[in-house]
Structure 1
Amino acid sequence: MEAYKEWVRRNRLWLSSIESLANTMTWFLPERLTSSELAPEALSTMVGLVTVMNEHIVATAPEISSTEFQVRPPEDPTFPWPLLLSVVKEVEVLVEMSSEHFLGRDQKWTPVAVVEALKAFMRLLVLHKSGYKMLIDGGETLNREEKPESSHCDVLGKSQIRGATPSSSNQPRAIQAMNKYRNNVGTRPSWLVAKPVATPPPPPPTQHFEPKSSAPIRKFKILGEVLLILRPFLYVMMIRRHGLRSWRPWLSALAIDATGMAILYGSTLFPDYVFGNKSIPRCVPSKQEKNEITRRQVLWALYLMRSPFFDLYTHRRLERVEKTLKPVPLFGSLAGKAVELIQGVQAFYTYTAGS
């Protein structure tokens, strides 16, 4: 196993190209997007699982220091939930297609709901273990990037760890006196301490413990993240109850997504307007979190591919484009193949792809 790991780490670029090519080729296999033929999807799932394992091997590779000694990265003693999340996402479409093949189109949503419930449970665990940071790629990637020093809204009680105390304006006089006495116990009188020569005064502290402002922001952000985590499971459960052609699941999922994103935007970028307190600092997201917010915005396009919106609007537009390009040589064939692929993707991938 160690020999295979070393081989993967040495040839990771070459392997990445081969895996991407193999995954692309599975889309052009016969009967790729039909429920009667599961072999192409099983092959695609196998390629995806191999890719996930190889990426995990590369990510856990020991770092080489300047002295050419191998320094292993800090190992997480807990279970690798991000890796398990990636594995579950790879097999989810195969579970959906198998359920439709053996149980029928209307009964397939029960196994899909079980998979979504498992994913939601694991994501809540990852959210808790990460200190309630924003999930990157649905929890598959660890949120390790540090935020700018001017932003400390994500961390609650960090000043308590450093020994800071709450602001004296929020304390009774008796507690202020006790804190002052406690801080002065064991210290030497000022007349015994040698005075330094031309020593600049220490910079004023830039962070204070403000429970009345930071606690609501943090809880608000956690609420938004939990809503976005539970949305796929709730969406599949509503499809299971009301049917795929009902507008209730579509509108409910869109409302949950919009509410969750609005909460994240408000608590991160505009907390002073949300809470009506201009003294609350803005939480500047890291580059990794900005990319994640952009990714979530792009996933909103999947609502155009979900029934009943797809059946009433998107599908008709695609048919018009296909009819317009059909007389054109080469472009007509490409347009027909593209519409066929889009219809196949819409039937199996769009309902769980954004989860």
Structure 2
Amino acid sequence: MLFVFVCFFFFNKSAGRFTDSHELSELVYSASNLLVLLNDGILRKGLCRTHPMPLSQQKLLTWLTVLEYVEVFTEMGANKLWGDGGRWLVIVLIQIAKAIFRILLLFWYKSGIQTSPPIIPLDRDTQLSKRGESQGADSAYRNYISFVGQRSGRVMRPLGRAPSLHTRLWGAPQLVKRRSHEEDVHQPPTPLGLQETIAESLYIARPLVHLLFLGICGRQSWKPWLISGILEVTSFGLMNDTKSLNRREKAEMRRRAFLLLYYLLRSPFYDRYSETKILFLLRFLADYIPGVGLVARPLMEYLPIWQKIYFYNWG
């Protein structure tokens, strides 16, 4: 919650400098995610669904999640307040902090493959359903899908739970059992062997290595792009035994595989090869296919802004 107030205070103090709507939209996005994180923590305590892990590990995950939620807005704010030098200093500090947290989680707490965000938002519907099941069918009937009058004690079905008229059954409402999303979240991490640990370490170290070569070789050099890509592909290739991973970890590996496509949008490859082709395709779709222009034209305008934000491209 402190970070939410800090973000709003930072924005209010710098209101004269934030003339672009992108900073405001990113502030709203970051603040909303932080509020969801805070609310989920309160709900988990109320539902007795705290993370089955040491308190210190839970704090690390929380701080890491907060950093991922505010990194883009922090980069934009640093650029507005302190210029390009301050922006890159903030980027380096955030990436170092994230790498330290992830290394501690990997080697000290044996957390296995780490997801993004580290704390997955709570699925409220399935969690309430799970709570009802744990209390028994009668308690679940009363607390989850029904409303009990305080004076009359009458059990009534909420309007939002009623089915459509042609499929409605006029008997007592029945409890529908569903698989809890929190079961996937709280599955113990898959133990990693030496090869998988090296793969995860390469994935964690990739942002720092990229920043190092970016500072040495310059932003227009191919070396940071190539070395970062090699590290990421190597990490993905070493993680060959994905059948033993749990459901959450498999989803994370699919996400990482999809993010490899980002190398087509990252400089210098984007500047020299992708930009003209992507803009030509978007312009063609906007001009000749009705309705597509509503999405394609704003996307063409947003791509240059997206390219300038480090954490959009490389975070």
1:86, distance to aligned residue in structure 2 (A):
0.9
> Which 5+ residue runs of structure 1 have no aligned equivalent?
2-29, 64-70, 148-152, 156-217, 270-282
**1:146: how far off?**
4.9
TM-superposed CA distance for 1:138, in Å, is: 5.8
Q: For residue 232 of structure 1, what is the amino acid of its counterpart?
A: P
Question: Match for residue 154 of structure 1?
Answer: 191
- How does 1:157-236 map onto structure 2 within 5 Å? 218-236=193-211
Residue type at the aligned position of 1:31: D
Name the residue aligned to 2:154: none
| Alignment partner, residue 16 of structure 1 | none
The residue aligned with 2:139 is none
Q: Which residue of 2 aligns with 1:350?
A: 312
Which residue does 1:336 correspond to in 2? 297
With 314-323 and 292-301 compared, the bigger mean Cα shift is at 314-323
Helix, strand or coil at the partner of 2:21: coil
Q: TM-score w.r.t. structure 1 length?
A: 0.57
Shift of 1:126: 1.4
Give the 3 Å change call, closer, same or farther, for CA 58–239 of structure 1 in structure 2. farther
User: For the residues of structure 2 that align with 1:238 and 1:40, how far apart are their CA atoms?
Assistant: 31
Deviation readout 1:168-220 (Å, 9 max, x if unpaired): xxxxxxxxxxxxxxxxxxxxxxxxxxxxxxxxxxxxxxxxxxxxxxxxxx222
Aligned-pair distance for 1:337? 1.0
Tell me how far 1:311 sits from its aligned partner.
Answer: 1.2
Are the equivalent residues in 2 in contact too, given 1:306–1:350 (CA < 8 A)? no
Relative to 1, partners in 2 of residues 1:294 and 1:146: Cα closer, same or farther, differing over 3 Å?
A: same
Q: In the alignment, which residue of structure 1 is the partner of 2:215?
A: 240
Q: Offset at 1:313?
A: 2.1
In structure 2, C-alpha distance between the alignment counterparts of 1:227 and 1:51, rounded to whole Å: 31
Q: How far did 1:75 drift?
A: 6.6
Give unpaired runs (5+ residues) of structure 2. 2-18, 121-183
Aligned to 1:22: none
Aligned to 1:31: 20
Q: Secondary structure at the match of 1:136?
A: coil
1:144 deviation in Å? 3.9
Over the matched positions of the two proteins, sequence identity in percent amounts to 22
Give the 5 Å matches for 1:101-112: 101-105=80-84, 108-112=87-91
Residues 1-355 of structure 1 correspond to what in structure 2 (within 5 A)? 31-33=20-22, 38-63=23-48, 76-79=54-57, 80-105=59-84, 108-137=87-116, 139-140=118-119, 144-146=186-188, 154=191, 218-265=193-240, 268=241, 284-328=244-288, 330-348=291-309, 349-353=311-315
Q: Distance in 2 between matches of 1:146 and 1:75?
A: 10
CA RMSD in angstroms comes to 3.1
Q: Which amino acid aligns with 2:60?
A: W
Which structure has the bigger radius of gyration?
Answer: 1
Measured at CA, do residues 87 and 126 of structure 1 come closer, stay the same or move farther in structure 2, by a change above 3 Å? same
The normalised TM-score by structure 2 is 0.64
